[in-house]
Amino acid sequence: MPETRSKGGLALSDHEERARLESEVRKWEGGPVAKTLTRNPERKESFVTTSGIEIPRVATPLDVQDLDYLNDLGLPGEYPFTRGVQPTMYRGRFWTMRQYAGFATAEESNRRYKYLLEQGQTGLSVAFDLPTQIGYDSDHPLAEGEVGKVGVAIDSLRDMEILFDGIPLDKVSTSMTINAPAAVLLAMYIAVGEKQGVPSEKLNGTIQNDVLKEYAARGTYIFPPKPSMRLITDIFEYCAKHVPEFNTISISGYHIREAGATAVQEVAFTLADGIAYVEAAIKAGLDVDSFAPRLSFFFNSHLDFLEEIAKFRAARRLWAKIMKERFHAQNPRSLMLRFHTQTAGVTLTAQQPFNNIIRVAMQTMAAVLGGTQSLHTNSYDEALALPTEESVRIALRTQQIVAYESGIGDTVDPLAGSYYIEYLTNEIERRALEYINKIDDLGGAVAAIEKGYIQNEIQESAYRYQKEIESGQRVVVGVNRFQMEEDPPKNLLRVDPEVGVRQAEKLKKLRAERDNDRVRETLRALKQAAQGDANLMPVILDAVRVYATLGEICGVLREVFGEYEAAAL
């Protein structure tokens, strides 16, 4: 399709006008700027974003010379989706306010979910504990000390039923942060729906299901890459037919950023992972338009306010181009990067925790100005413990105040056309693409991870960031400047250390009460299916329905698939 370049708005209409502006800028730099600098030098020798992108003293049309409105920005809901994936965005509906929550037992987490829904959150988000995330039952030796600490302990369908007790699955959407055993938790969710009389076709939600970032940054992998990708593509295929309203994956940059990556790296490594998933699914025989509309993403909202806004816009545009030009997707919905955002936990401090409320507010605004579909805001005690009711309520109110009182949702993509924002959007896209090409040269995301390339890039950035803080170059208020003597924090959430014992008792009871012959049958069928190449979702569902435990199911899969061995880096 021939490009028709529009000449309105940002671009300079002709060579003469550009030359004149260049001349004016030179005069200004040589005159008023130089004069000011001799009297009052700037705060830093150079100003760069977290990604190392040079920050102009002032951005002008010269910084966005080739920008073409229709081709590069377009209209909301239309390719390349720079301005947003829906035509009316928050004028139609605010982003989903979805607080990540879960701790101790299903009973306690169920209470917290009801509290959050009462306080006005509009979607659920389940945090599972580490044994659950890594496919171990609460009574496994490696689970000792870990049960219920970072999320809810789910050992079987029985726990899942309790978790959603009194919560109608046809009325609420649920995001589950579960990766290696995502198929099992999804099966449990479907089974809970069945018991509530809600068919799987009506279930709404997301499973994170993004194993590549586990290897690169988050660490809750179980199986090696090949069988993990098989599980993921099985889920794509199954859901396309039976759970069409579910996002089958949340391709994540949040954790990559938390591990130390820059904004550019966050976009690059996330989209590179996305490319790997699309390729795997196509290789498994799926048509791209059959699964791509249900891919979703998950990004971080960090401290450099303007870079973050540009980052979200760049990610949308870059993904749209990749899906169109590289994968030839035809369905417009296959080209849309829809995403959830979480404010950056790593930026929150243990010192003077109330300051974190301000940080989270800024990060909220960046995510909204960047067009997120869904948002979790961290609580002020993020660096200290899991949230209390009070601290999570303030985090939720932050979203509600931005939504209802700031007005930034009343027009779509308000910062479009800003010379600086468009310059940054272009730069982030350009640099992310460079990384993606490099990763392609290495053989793709899986190969890049196996070679340690992505991990090394992340580590380098993390170390650089820490050096900047320790040298004082990067100020963290309350930590390396504006410190004060503080009393130790009070009233933090503590998880009862007896949770592990209680869960073990529940498991004993469950194993005594269920039909163990049926359990054994289903686990045998699972083993057979895993050894072949049948879709594993139906056999996992069978096992889940008869109360096989998560540990038992994952135990079979561990037997067949083996475990991932992280290379010593």
For binding to another protein (CB under 8 A), which residues are involved?
130-131, 133-134, 136, 142-146, 149-150, 214, 218-220, 258-260, 346, 349-351, 383-385, 459, 462-463, 466, 469-470, 476, 479-480, 488-489, 492, 494-495, 497, 566, 568-569
Nearer to another protein, 136 or 246 (CB): 136
**E-assigned strand segments in 366-425:** 374-376
- Choose between 150 and 286: whose C-beta lies nearer to another protein: 150
Tell me the Cα Rg of the chain.
25
Residue 10 or 143: which CB sits closer to another protein? Answer: 143
Q: Strand, coil or helix: what is 97?
A: strand
Minimum CB distance to another protein smaller for 275 or for 458: 458
Q: Which is nearer to another protein, 76 or 131 (CB)?
A: 131
Q: State the Cα–Cα distance between residues 248 and 209, nearest whole angstrom.
A: 7
Q: Which residue number, 3 or 565, has a Cβ lying nearer to another protein? A: 565
CB atoms within 10 A of CB 319: 25
Task: Enumerate the β-bridge partners of residue 295.
Answer: 249
Which residues have CB under 8 Å from 355's CB, separation 6+?
A: 349, 380, 477, 478
Cβ at position 490, least distance to another protein in Å: 10
Closest approach of another protein to the CB of residue 498, in Å: 12
Closest distance to another protein from the beta carbon of 220 (Å): 5
The answer to whether the beta carbons of residues 179 and 535 sit under 8 Å apart is: no
Measured from the CB atom, the residue of 406 and 480 that comes closer to another protein is: 480
Query: Which residues 6+ apart lie within 8 Å of 300 measured at CB?
Result: 253, 254, 257, 258, 266, 341, 342, 343, 344
Residue 417, Cβ neighbours under 10 Å: how many? Answer: 14
Per the CB < 8 A criterion, the answer to whether 464 and 99 are in contact is no
Minimum Å gap between C-beta 247 and another protein is: 23
Q: Comparing C-alpha atoms, which of 132, 149, 111 is closest to residue 392?
A: 111
Shortest CB 351 distance to another protein, Å? 6
Q: Measured from the CB atom, is 8 or 488 closer to another protein?
A: 488
Rounded least distance, CB 466 to another protein, Å: 5
Whole-angstrom CA distances from 58 to 71, 131, 256, 369, 529 are 25, 51, 31, 21, 61
DSSP code, position 8: S
| Minimum separation from the CB atom of position 143 to another protein (A) | 8
Nearest partner of 96 among 347, 436, 341, 390, judged by Cα? 341
Question: How far is C-alpha 391 from the geometric centre of its chain's CA atoms?
Answer: 22
Q: Which of 402, 415, 410 is nearest to 369 (CA)?
A: 415
Least distance CB 133 / another protein (angstroms): 8
Q: Rounded to the nearest whole angstrom, what is the least distance from the CB of residue 342 to another protein in the complex?
A: 15
Closer CB to another protein, residue 266 or residue 422?
A: 266
